[in-house]
Structure 1
Amino acid sequence: MIRQLLDVVGPEHNRPVRRMITALVVCAVLQGIAFALLVPVLEALLGSDPDSVWPWLWALLGVCLLYCVAYYDSLRTGFQAGATLSRTLHNRIGDQVASLPLGWFAPERVGQLGQLATKSVMDVMGVPAHLLRPLVTSFVTPATVVLVMYVFDWRLALAATLTVPLIVGVYRWSAGLNRKADEARTAAHAVTGGRVVEFAQLQPVLRVFGRDGASSGTRGLDAALHTQYEASRRVLVTGVPGLISFALVIQAAFTVILVTGTYLVLDGGLDVAKLLAILVLAARFTEPIAETAVLGSTLRTARSALDRVADLLAEPCLPQPDDPRLPAGHDVEFEYVDFSYDGTRVLSGVSLTLPEGTMTALVGPSGSGKTTVSKLIPRFWDVDSGVVRVGGVDVRDIDPEVLMSKISVVFQDVYLFEGTIMDNIRVGRPDATDEEVREVARQARVEEIVQRLPDGWDTKVGEGGALLSGGERQRVSIARAILKDAPIVLLDEATASLDPENEQAVQEALGHLTAGRTLLVIAHRLQTVAAAGQILLLDEGRIVERGTHAELVAADGRYADFWAQRSRAQRWRVARQPS
């Protein structure tokens, strides 16, 4: 566990942890020596010359004073290490999560990552503050006691040494007995956490369609809670045999020393006073080990937390270029790109060019791979084969920060940070002035949203922007992209949630981005598609048609069908049935 803890912290941050471990080892050794000094003290007191005890008492007092100093230092360094550990782990987890490919963030990861960043980190923090002391003491103090026992009587020391393999074997057996049960309980907790979040987020749907016990939302939560209960019960059931067995083997170890000492006394090879003193020492040999059994469950929880953090930190990140290159221009090119999600082919042989300073519309049925195309440009994933180039350079050869600085993205699903509207817009360019933020807000028609809010620009938008409507969140996201002023802009259904009036306003604002910029728009609205200089029709992961609106309509192919269907859909009206 200690080695794993140092690996998780990292070599650049583990100095406080190493210092604390050193202090704990010194404490444990001093404690073992203090216990060992009880042997000559008791032997003198029980012997024929009680006055000879004073030198040993002074030695014992000196060791105890050193132990107090070392104990205080270990406490101080322990809490310092815990605080350092919390900060370091959160930073490392944050850096790692920010470096993982987007494909890692499957829906089931939400509960797992939430539990890892909170409960697992707290469990790991408890290792230096609360667990390392008994853990180190349970090994170092008994080892010191046994070594000192060899000084007083090698036969009793040998008897104690022979019990060590049995103690270690039973401890490992009991730990292994519970490991799988602990893993199942941890997984059940993560699933339950995700279900609770889902249950809260789906309250509008559950209330509209019925919220009785048979509803699908509550059934999923109930099933997760039942699984968690069963997993927790299984941990208790499997833990009892190991706990009892470990306690029995500790008592057996003391019994072996007691029987050996009694035999030596009866045989005349050991006096009673020394035996009593060594038995006191033997009790101090078994006591720290017995405490490990009490901490067994906590130690397994901490180890499991360390395993989860270590697994996350070991997840492969997107490879970084050894010799980064700078793109020459801002055109985008796909050359025979293949891409798959979990073995399912999404794009097949896609080749396209988005010339610099032009607007390209990407259309096609749902699930055809449009959003995937937009996410491969900023390198959220790496392609299976083929090349994605920006400015003539493979995106895998461009420094990620340089690549992202050249791209603004507005996706269909908008997430706003918990803060003010100004804070969320300023994410696009943190050094922007308030006047610049207000100007892009005016262009994206966010200013009129601010005027309706109770605290104006200082109004909090809530977690994920929950206090704003979908269309309002989308306009904030568009304002953020305009503020970033990147040469490449990717819009995925950016106007889908806007009413016609605001869509027209946003389209005018986005028009300012076209000059000198590469604009890729994924949209179904006819006005957006028709305004594009190039239209690409994607179907089943392949580009099946390309050209201008007029060219594709004249070709009377799939795009012409798409245009006709959309035109008919715009004329749909809800008719009132006669009463």
Structure 2
Amino acid sequence: MTTFKKLWGYMGRRRALLPVAIVLSALSGLAGLLPFVFIWLIARELLSGDDSASQSSVISYAWWAAGTAAGGVALYFGALMCSHLAAFRVESNIRKSAMRRVIAMPLGFFDANTSGRIRKIIDDNAGITHSFLAHQLPDLAGTALVPVAAVVLIAAFDWRLGLACLIPEFIAMGIMAYTMNTRGREFMREYMTLLERMNTEAVEYVRGIPVVKVFQQTVFSFKNFYRTIMQYSHTATRYTRLWERPMTLYTVIINSFAFILVPVAIIMTGAGEGLAYVIINLILFVLVTPVFSECVMKSMYIGQALGQAGEAVRRLDELTSYPTLKESDRPQTPRGHDITFDNVVFAYPGTDKDVLHGISFSIKQGQRIALVGASGSGKTTIARLVPRFYDVSGGSVRIGGTDVRDISHDVLMRTVSFVFQEPRLIKTTILENIRYGKPEATLEEVNRAADMAQCREIIDRLPNGLNTVIGTEGTYLSGGERQRIALARAFLKDAPIIVLDEATAFADPENEHLMQRALRELTRGKTVLTIAHRLTSVADADEILVIDGGRIAERGTHDTLLGLKGIYYNRWNEYCQAVNWEIKSFKQNAIKPTVSERTTTNETTFSKQTNNDGTYKRDRNRPGSTAYGLADKLALSPKGYRDFKKGVAWTAIFNIVLMLPAIFVFLFLADWLRPLLNGGASPAHGLSYFCVLAVPFLAVMYVVGVFQYRSTYTSVYDESANRRINLAEKLRRLPLAFFGEKNLSDLTSTIMDDCTDLEHTFSHCVPQLFASLISITLIAVGMCIYCWPLAVALFWVVPVALGILLLSRKGMRRSNKVNYMNKRAVTEVIQEGLDTVQEIKSYGQDARYTLRLDQSIDHYERVMTRNELVLGILVNGAQSILKLGLATVTTVGTWMMAAGTVDMFTFLVFLVIGSRVYGPINEVLNNLAALTYLDVRISRMNEMERMPVQEGADVSIDGGFDIRFEHVSFAYEEGKQVLNDVSFTARQGEITALIGPSGGGKSTAAKLAARFWDVNSGRITLGGVDISTVDPEALLRNFSVVFQDVVLFNASVMDNIRIGRRDATDEEVLRVARLACCDEFVNKLPDGYRTVIGENGQTLSGGERQRISIARALLKDAPVVLLDEATASLDVENETLIQAGISELVRNKTVLIIAHRMRTVANADKILVLSGGEIAEQGTPGELKARGGYFARMLSLQGEKA
């Protein structure tokens, strides 16, 4: 009741619909029994021996039977529509409520919960509650009436036959109750946990595709992801096999009522009951018992669904029970904009280790205070306490004399503007991304903020200016460009308090100079707290706080701190050393770097089932084969297709075998009824004969049932695991351009949700569809041979019902595609909210985000409601037409009996079979929703599988490792030219530096060299070989890359570094970790190098994450090295230390380095200045300095700052 009570609270104004649905469902259940009463009346009329039994009365009963059956269908349709309306509202409100709660969580919540897990819990569990409320709960009313109906029937007709028909029901229910209680709940918890884990790891895998490609990782290399896929498959298969015998026994027993009814009927006749009386009542209970059986089956599903709904509610409660930052009952308004930290102590939620110890300082309004210190010292933590992203553990943070805990959230967010080191953008226009800072801003205000943040050149080069839609997470913008967009937001917000966390870390020198000037204008008269690794940017701060180990170690002005000759003095000297650091080439051309050949994908037998491009193997010699066409259409592997055919065959056989009880009744009636009708001799067979005959019938049913269950249910999870692995491997081989067009939630949903849904569809629906068509065709043929006029009267409804569905298939497919895309849109908005939660909080966009979320969810609800109405009308129309079959066979049979062309026995046989023969078709219709979604889901998978991959030969590079660009032009998409006719050579053993303004094409050029994309024109060669002819995996064996945007995985530090080379020993990992200066922070972690670092390394600082990235590049030790702003996120101390590691990394290699610090590349062999996608300058540092162009200007500018 607790589960239902909580779901009841989400219904809102639609609560009244659920009781209506329950009542209509109950009435539908009663109406479903009435047709059998009318058939009983027909049998009584026929067997009464009264010649006055009119033909019209029999026909009248037949149409009453059809009418009440159709009425029952209509009532059930009404029940389902009411329950679906209520369930859709619950599903929508759960998503809305859960996301509102999640967005209100402190940032510490997201350290402990990955975005993949959160989205999975919210999205999937909302759907589970919908299924329970929309289908199972209304059925509960009809199921509850079964005992009442049974008692009434037993009392009204015959208690002995009534009890006999209920015996199998009780036994079957006992078997299922025992099995579910002992195994069901435990499995459901494990099953849902594995799904959440798998979703988390799928999100990480897709997000980390650039790293996956560079370091040649396969899905198998991601041990957690691969292990969870296989564990899920094995767990689901194991659980399914545990149900094999109980489920088969249940199905056999619940269908075995005839094997009890017939012997009881024989015993009754032996006890003196009239044969006509016994047979009439026997026919009634033979017809009614399947209705009881169906209700028992529904009760099993209801119990299972209730357990699932209960587990879903529990998980949602568990997720949303994390304590939020409570609003004050009496919010206060700050008096001014001073910031005061008073003896602040802080520990991250879920830990008892303080990271801040007694922090006390004040920032007066108009002052600028800087925080400096090593990575992980607590700088960012201090900054994030100002806008109350967390609550302090002790002490207080005050703004204008008011504790931030007493300031309302809206006021606090209007007061504080926070610019993050790694800003997140959303997939919309530049205009809307900037307007995030102030939604009501005019176009003039947006343009002014963009100009102040030096965004004008970004906007002007885009085809639609401010209205250009950027790719997912700003895919088509460089790191510096994304940072400038984020700064434009802050300029637009114009809050009185500004917190800057390395806000210009990725800016080029010229733009940094201009942005710093703009920042001084922005912060004039405001309270500013800034974090910086470039000490020159904060040398003029009013006060500098040196943070060390969560404490303020030193404080004062720049000159005062230098005079102390303490920590700051040392850091300043290290900074000056770092500023003057030069990467030098060591030309030893005799030394040829070795290339690791260790990366292969044959780590499991999966590779035997796949082609080189990761797709399932097909028989290429039979492209026109119908069988193989069907396998492709169903997205099945060869083994999966063989299993599917086997499942269809055994299901068809089982459907036919389930007619054995009806055949058993037929044999009984043939032996006992003919003498009664013809006045002949006594029956040929007695009780013992039928008891013995029941045994092989039951044995055949059980054996076939086992094979049917095994072939249908247990193999589907292996196929699903292979499908997930196949899709993940396919993604790995696609060019990065593909990912700019897709969003994270869309791709992970294909791997996760689509595959999960296909598990159900291929185990419960598709084989049953094909098998039902086969079995009903065979039965129809047999009945036609027996008596074709009655067979036609019985089966004409099947092609008509199916024809209606086939004619409307195109419309349903179109409608389902719309539903699917709207569901994906909801998922995308949820994922975006989780990815940009820090921006939502910083800019007070909670209301705006939830409004957008609500609109997306409400639209999806409206679309689904329309679709459910259309689908319901079609399904229920088809089911109503099927009900007419019984009426027409009765009418035709009556006419034929009157004409003497058929005897009463044959007529009664068709009546009995007619009550059972439509069962498989009805089952297919009940699962029509899943079947109609099949096309949409499979077409998405096939679309992904058919995406062209970058092809090439697996050739070795023997001619050295010079990189040559020859007239290369490239655009991410039409109208967005990034490189134009670029030509240069980066020689082996030399350092080639790419410099220039942000967005000039530096990162793009480096990524083209590694063939992350293919050029639009021109060509790139490595060692004289055109890289477009080289297999990307073979090519990337030659590359090590340190990305500007670091991607780490939710694994240990050791495993993250080992991505560089999977077979590296612990000693080798530790050696490169020391070179990359990882020891200093890793040794402080709870489990050292075995510590799991969270989604994308979110428990680490930016500098710590960058050091791990450098360590894995060192471990790979490839002959070509691409460095994209490799030290941008490092603090001064570690930048100085890590320079030795980078110098080791580039020794004797072909090096392409992207840098904004000119002194870093002042000793490079060649410098290329890329501006506007063209080479503006190139030459040696000396030549460019003498030329007085961009390089000389930037060198001079940075020299002034230093």
Query: Within the alignment, does 1:571 sit opposite 2:549 as a pair?
Result: no
2 CA distance for matches of 1:35 and 1:293?
24
Amino acid at match of 1:383: V
Pair member with larger Rg: 2
2 CA distance for matches of 1:317 and 1:164?
50
2 CA distance for matches of 1:48 and 1:168?
40
How far does residue 130 in structure 1 lie from its aligned partner after superposition?
4.9
Amino acid at match of 1:25: A
How far does residue 459 in structure 1 lie from its aligned partner after superposition?
1.8
Amino acid at match of 1:542: R
Q: Is the 2:345–2:392 Cα contact (8 Å) retained in structure 1?
A: yes
2 CA distance for matches of 1:317 and 1:213?
37
**Aligned residue for 2:239?**
235
For residues 134-154 of structure 1, the C-alpha deviation after alignment (integer angstroms, 9 at most, x for no partner) is x43662342342242354256
How far does residue 554 in structure 1 lie from its aligned partner after superposition?
2.0
Match of 2:396 among 376, 384, 387: 387
**Aligned residue for 1:202?**
208
Q: Is the 1:167–1:249 Cα contact (8 Å) retained in structure 2?
A: yes
Match of 2:534 among 488, 501, 525: 525
1 CA distance for matches of 2:393 and 2:301?
51
Query: Within the alignment, does 1:352 sit opposite 2:356 as a pair?
Result: no
Q: Partner of 1:387: helix, strand, or coil? A: strand
Amino acid at match of 2:340: E
The 10-residue stretch of structure 1 (547-556 or 461-470) with the greater mean CA deviation from structure 2: 547-556
Q: Is the 1:138–1:289 Cα contact (8 Å) retained in structure 2?
A: no
How far does residue 388 in structure 1 lie from its aligned partner after superposition?
2.5
**Aligned residue for 2:76?**
71
Q: Is the 2:434–2:489 Cα contact (8 Å) retained in structure 1?
A: yes
Amino acid at match of 1:576: S
1 CA distance for matches of 2:305 and 2:155?
36
1 CA distance for matches of 2:540 and 2:259?
90
Amino acid at match of 1:12: G
**Aligned residue for 2:29?**
28
Q: For the structure 1 residues 66 and 233, does the alpha-carbon distance in structure 2 shift closer, same or farther, using more than 3 Å as the test?
A: closer
1:34-53 alignment, distance < 5 Å: 46=47
Query: Within the alignment, does 1:98 sit opposite 2:103 as a pair?
Result: yes
Q: For the structure 1 residues 269 and 390, does the alpha-carbon distance in structure 2 shift closer, same or farther, using more than 3 Å as the test?
A: farther
Amino acid at match of 1:288: C
The 10-residue stretch of structure 1 (327-336 or 3-12) with the greater mean CA deviation from structure 2: 3-12
Q: For the structure 1 residues 77 and 376, does the alpha-carbon distance in structure 2 shift closer, same or farther, using more than 3 Å as the test?
A: same
How far does residue 17 in structure 1 lie from its aligned partner after superposition?
4.5
Q: Partner of 1:428: helix, strand, or coil? A: coil
1:78-227 alignment, distance < 5 Å: 78-106=83-111, 109-132=114-137, 135-136=139-140, 139-149=143-153, 151-152=155-156, 169-176=174-181, 177-211=183-217, 216=221, 218-227=222-231
**Aligned residue for 1:372?**
381
Q: Is the 2:500–2:531 Cα contact (8 Å) retained in structure 1?
A: yes
Considering only aligned residues, what root-mean-square deviation do their CA atoms show, in Å? Answer: 3.7
**Aligned residue for 2:412?**
403
1 CA distance for matches of 2:36 and 2:330?
61
How far does residue 104 in structure 1 lie from its aligned partner after superposition?
1.8
For residues 403-443 of structure 1, the C-alpha deviation after alignment (integer angstroms, 9 at most, x for no partner) is 22222111112110001111100011110011100100000
How far does residue 242 in structure 1 lie from its aligned partner after superposition?
3.9
1 CA distance for matches of 2:467 and 2:555?
46
Q: Is the 1:160–1:257 Cα contact (8 Å) retained in structure 2?
A: yes
**Aligned residue for 2:439?**
430
Q: Is the 1:8–1:310 Cα contact (8 Å) retained in structure 2?
A: no
Identity %: 33
Q: Is the 1:362–1:521 Cα contact (8 Å) retained in structure 2?
A: yes
Q: For the structure 1 residues 436 and 262, does the alpha-carbon distance in structure 2 shift closer, same or farther, using more than 3 Å as the test?
A: farther
Q: For the structure 1 residues 268 and 566, does the alpha-carbon distance in structure 2 shift closer, same or farther, using more than 3 Å as the test?
A: farther
Instruction: Give the alignment's TM-score, normalised by structure 1.
Output: 0.86
Amino acid at match of 2:242: T
Unaligned residue ranges in structure 1 (runs of 5+): none
**Aligned residue for 1:416?**
425
**Aligned residue for 1:547?**
556
Q: Is the 2:369–2:530 Cα contact (8 Å) retained in structure 1?
A: yes
For residues 45-76 of structure 1, the C-alpha deviation after alignment (integer angstroms, 9 at most, x for no partner) is 65577689999889867755653442332243
Q: Partner of 2:344: helix, strand, or coil? A: strand
Number of residue-to-residue matches in the alignment: 576
Amino acid at match of 1:189: L
Q: For the structure 1 residues 148 and 34, does the alpha-carbon distance in structure 2 shift closer, same or farther, using more than 3 Å as the test?
A: farther
1 CA distance for matches of 2:337 and 2:282?
86
2 CA distance for matches of 1:250 and 1:101?
54
Query: Within the alignment, does 1:317 sit opposite 2:317 as a pair?
Result: no
Query: Within the alignment, does 1:326 sit opposite 2:333 as a pair?
Result: yes
**Aligned residue for 2:469?**
460
Q: Is the 2:425–2:474 Cα contact (8 Å) retained in structure 1?
A: yes
For residues 258-310 of structure 1, the C-alpha deviation after alignment (integer angstroms, 9 at most, x for no partner) is 77777666556895244543454333212322355579887766665555445
Q: Is the 1:181–1:234 Cα contact (8 Å) retained in structure 2?
A: no
Q: Is the 1:253–1:286 Cα contact (8 Å) retained in structure 2?
A: no
For residues 5-57 of structure 1, the C-alpha deviation after alignment (integer angstroms, 9 at most, x for no partner) is 86276152552445434433342344356656766675666557768999988
Q: For the structure 1 residues 254 and 470, does the alpha-carbon distance in structure 2 shift closer, same or farther, using more than 3 Å as the test?
A: farther
Q: Is the 1:32–1:144 Cα contact (8 Å) retained in structure 2?
A: no
Match of 1:511 among 520, 524, 528: 520
2 CA distance for matches of 1:257 and 1:331?
88
How far does residue 172 in structure 1 lie from its aligned partner after superposition?
3.7
Q: For the structure 1 residues 560 and 237, does the alpha-carbon distance in structure 2 shift closer, same or farther, using more than 3 Å as the test?
A: same
The 10-residue stretch of structure 1 (288-297 or 179-188) with the greater mean CA deviation from structure 2: 288-297
Q: Partner of 1:105: helix, strand, or coil? A: helix
Q: Partner of 1:388: helix, strand, or coil? A: strand
Q: Is the 1:493–1:521 Cα contact (8 Å) retained in structure 2?
A: yes
1 CA distance for matches of 2:337 and 2:261?
80
**Aligned residue for 2:290?**
283
1 CA distance for matches of 2:344 and 2:265?
79
1 CA distance for matches of 2:266 and 2:106?
67
Q: For the structure 1 residues 516 and 46, does the alpha-carbon distance in structure 2 shift closer, same or farther, using more than 3 Å as the test?
A: farther
Match of 2:453 among 444, 448, 456: 444
The 10-residue stretch of structure 1 (254-263 or 272-281) with the greater mean CA deviation from structure 2: 254-263
1 CA distance for matches of 2:150 and 2:572?
87
2 CA distance for matches of 1:424 and 1:401?
20
Amino acid at match of 1:312: L
Q: Partner of 1:512: helix, strand, or coil? A: helix
2 CA distance for matches of 1:45 and 1:157?
22
For residues 548-578 of structure 1, the C-alpha deviation after alignment (integer angstroms, 9 at most, x for no partner) is 2222222222222222222221121223336
2 CA distance for matches of 1:53 and 1:187?
58
Q: Partner of 2:581: helix, strand, or coil? A: coil
**Aligned residue for 2:760?**
none
1 CA distance for matches of 2:538 and 2:314?
50
1:1-16 alignment, distance < 5 Å: 3-4=3-4, 7=7, 10-12=10-12, 14-15=14-15, 16=17
Q: For the structure 1 residues 435 and 54, does the alpha-carbon distance in structure 2 shift closer, same or farther, using more than 3 Å as the test?
A: same
2 CA distance for matches of 1:326 and 1:254?
80
The 10-residue stretch of structure 1 (205-214 or 393-402) with the greater mean CA deviation from structure 2: 205-214
Q: Is the 1:333–1:352 Cα contact (8 Å) retained in structure 2?
A: yes
Q: For the structure 1 residues 355 and 33, does the alpha-carbon distance in structure 2 shift closer, same or farther, using more than 3 Å as the test?
A: farther
